[in-house]
């Protein structure tokens, strides 16, 4: 394979692209209340829009991202961007909740591309700069996740929820044109069949205990975060009477935590992985305790969001640094395993969060977050030396 130098221009293009594409997954979350009113459905029913988006993303990770070890990245981009643009347009035109759910599933499936960019950055970096490169791309990705809520909250309240999907389709068209001409072509080394490529996923999962543990830590952490963001729009409406604009604006606070990605990446070569992980888990536990007592406090919610996003970021970056340090010939596949587990956790958190809200309101959601964070601590302490 021809070696391509990872210039700062390419690195930041990967970072920005990751953020713009992954944003497609989260535009719907601040809009759930508007969508429920539009289709006259309940809050648990409309939460299926977010659920199926995340399930689609998990399956996209499973079936698309391993191709990064077999097929040229440019070939993957061409087909994927075409489908995601069509799916976003259908979502905007949806005349029923079912059509919106199905199109959201396809949006999620085709928005898995950022997880090609992270292994690409790791592959093109040397050992000394790998943590920094992963951190920068992950900063872009997480800023996209969090910033998407700010944008969609404002657009939804000012122009209606459908306009957000049309705008997202337009952004994907522009981004594809830029990537077509600026992104370097990466030719993979795997020469086997697609079936053997997929079969190898089980091999890496079975033989790499550190990969299994990182996947479990990441999945549990993202379950808590998804439960929070899925139900925050309901809390803001119920406790404060705020609409999607204010709910989405809370994403700005999360961006502060996401910016820590670059810092975490830089220090990851000088501080032990276990220390970073332990600090991250403790941050998550503390953040959920703060959120537990902040159902009627905007200041408390702000503090809790800052802490939970910082904890997630530190844990996620360290998990990826660990899994990318092994099997350099299969970084897309090990990233597939990790991220599928990560977003299966997110899908679980969306469902569990909606049920917790329906039955116990914010107390139930916060208790769920605490339980999940404590579980991360328990499994880490039990299995980290295996």
CA 85, CA 374: separation in Å to the nearest integer? Answer: 40
Write out pLDDT tens, residues 186-242.
777 788 888 999 999 999 999 999 999 999 999 999 999 989 988 888 898 888 888
User: Three-state SS for 249?
Assistant: helix
- Position 120 scores a pLDDT of 82
CA 12, CA 197: separation in Å to the nearest integer? Answer: 30
Tokens at residue 138, please? 């992950």
Query: Nearest-CA neighbor of 347 among 223, 210, 168?
Result: 223
User: Three-state SS for 164?
Assistant: helix
Contact assessment for residue 28 and residue 152, using Cβ atoms and an 8 Å cutoff: yes
Who contacts 82 (Cβ-Cβ below 8 Å, separation ≥6)?
none
Q: Residue 294 pLDDT more than 60?
A: yes
Model confidence, pTM: 0.77
Contact assessment for residue 43 and residue 237, using Cβ atoms and an 8 Å cutoff: no
Task: Find the helix packing angle between 209-235 and 273-292, rounded to 10°.
Answer: 20
Tokens at residue 242, please? 């705020």
Contact assessment for residue 231 and residue 47, using Cβ atoms and an 8 Å cutoff: no
Share of the chain above pLDDT 90, in %: 43
Query: What mean pLDDT, rounded, does the chain reach?
Result: 87
Contact assessment for residue 26 and residue 147, using Cβ atoms and an 8 Å cutoff: no
Give buried/exposed letters for 114-137 (b at 16+ CB in 10 A, else e).
Answer: bbbbbbbbbbbbeeebbbbbbbbb
Residue with tokens 């049920």: 355
Contact assessment for residue 226 and residue 353, using Cβ atoms and an 8 Å cutoff: yes
Residue with tokens 């399956």: 59
- Position 15 scores a pLDDT of 92
Query: Nearest-CA neighbor of 139 among 317, 280, 8?
Result: 317
Contact assessment for residue 335 and residue 323, using Cβ atoms and an 8 Å cutoff: yes
| Nearest-5° Cα angle at 52, 375 to 153 | 90
- Position 133 scores a pLDDT of 81
Q: Which helix (H) or strand (E) holds 41?
A: none
Tokens at residue 141, please? 């990705």
Q: Where on the phi/psi map is residue 243: left (φ > 0), alpha (ψ -120 to 50), or beta?
A: beta
Write out pLDDT tens, residues 125-146.
776 777 778 778 878 887 888 7
Q: Residue 183 pLDDT more than 90?
A: no
Tokens at residue 167, please? 């705008």
Tell me the average pLDDT across 320-342. Answer: 85
- Position 257 scores a pLDDT of 64
Domain residue spans in the chain? 8-181+203-383
Q: What is the dihedral of CA 53, 57, 58, 60, to 10 degrees?
A: 140
Q: Residue 252 pLDDT more than 90?
A: no
What CATH class has 8-181+203-383? mainly alpha
Residue with tokens 């220390």: 275
Tell me the average pLDDT across 288-308. Answer: 91
CA distances from 26 to 30, 140, 168 (A): 8, 14, 11
CA distances from 357 to 26, 65, 194 (A): 19, 34, 42
Q: What is the dihedral of CA 357, 362, 367, 370, to 10 degrees?
A: 110
pLDDT band at 293 (very low <50, low <70, confident <90, very high): very high
**H-only helix segments in the chain:** 8-22, 32-39, 43-63, 73-93, 97-110, 114-124, 130-159, 161-182, 194-207, 209-235, 244-249, 251-258, 260-267, 273-292, 298-324, 331-383
- Position 1 scores a pLDDT of 41
């Amino acid at each position: 394979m021809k070696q391509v130098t990872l210039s700062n221009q390419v690195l930041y293009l990967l970072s920005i692209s990751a953020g713009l594409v992954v944003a497609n997954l989260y535009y719907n979350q601040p809009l759930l209340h508007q969508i429920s009113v539009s289709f006259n459905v309940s809050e648990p029913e409309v939460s299926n829009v977010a659920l199926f988006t995340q399930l689609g993303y998990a399956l996209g990770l499973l079936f698309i991202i391993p191709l990064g070890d077999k097929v040229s990245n440019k070939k993957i981009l061409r087909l994927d961007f075409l489908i995601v643009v069509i799916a976003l347009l259908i979502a905007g035109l949806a005349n029923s909740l079912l059509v919106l759910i199905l199109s959201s599933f396809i949006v999620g499936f085709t928005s898995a591309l950022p997880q090609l960019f992270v292994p690409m950055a790791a592959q093109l970096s040397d050992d000394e700069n790998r943590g920094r490169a992963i951190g920068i791309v992950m900063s872009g990705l997480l800023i996209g996740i969090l910033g998407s809520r700010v944008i969609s909250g404002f657009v939804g309240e000012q122009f209606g929820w459908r306009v957000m999907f049309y705008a997202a389709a337009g952004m994907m068209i522009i981004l594809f044109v830029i990537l077509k001409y600026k992104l370097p072509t990466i030719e993979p080394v795997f020469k086997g069949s697609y079936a053997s490529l997929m079969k190898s996923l089980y091999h890496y999962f079975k033989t790499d205990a550190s990969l299994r543990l990182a996947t479990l830590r990441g999945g549990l952490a993202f379950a808590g975060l998804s439960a929070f963001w899925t139900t925050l729009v309901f809390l803001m409406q119920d406790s404060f009477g705020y609409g999607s604009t204010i709910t989405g604006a809370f994403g700005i606070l999360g961006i502060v935590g996401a910016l820590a990605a670059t810092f975490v990446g830089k220090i990851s070569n000088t501080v032990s992985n276990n220390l970073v992980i332990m600090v991250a888990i403790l941050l998550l536990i503390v953040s959920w305790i703060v959120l537990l007592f902040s159902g009627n406090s905007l200041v408390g919610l702000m503090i809790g969001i800052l802490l939970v996003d910082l904890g997630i970021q530190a844990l996620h970056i360290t998990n990826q640094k660990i899994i990318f340090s092994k099997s350099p010939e299969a970084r897309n596949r090990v990233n597939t395993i990790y991220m599928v587990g990560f977003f299966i956790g997110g899908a679980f958190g969306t469902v569990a969060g909606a049920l917790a809200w329906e039955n116990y309101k914010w107390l139930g959601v916060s208790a769920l977050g605490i339980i999940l964070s404590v579980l991360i601590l328990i499994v880490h302490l039990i299995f980290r030396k295996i």
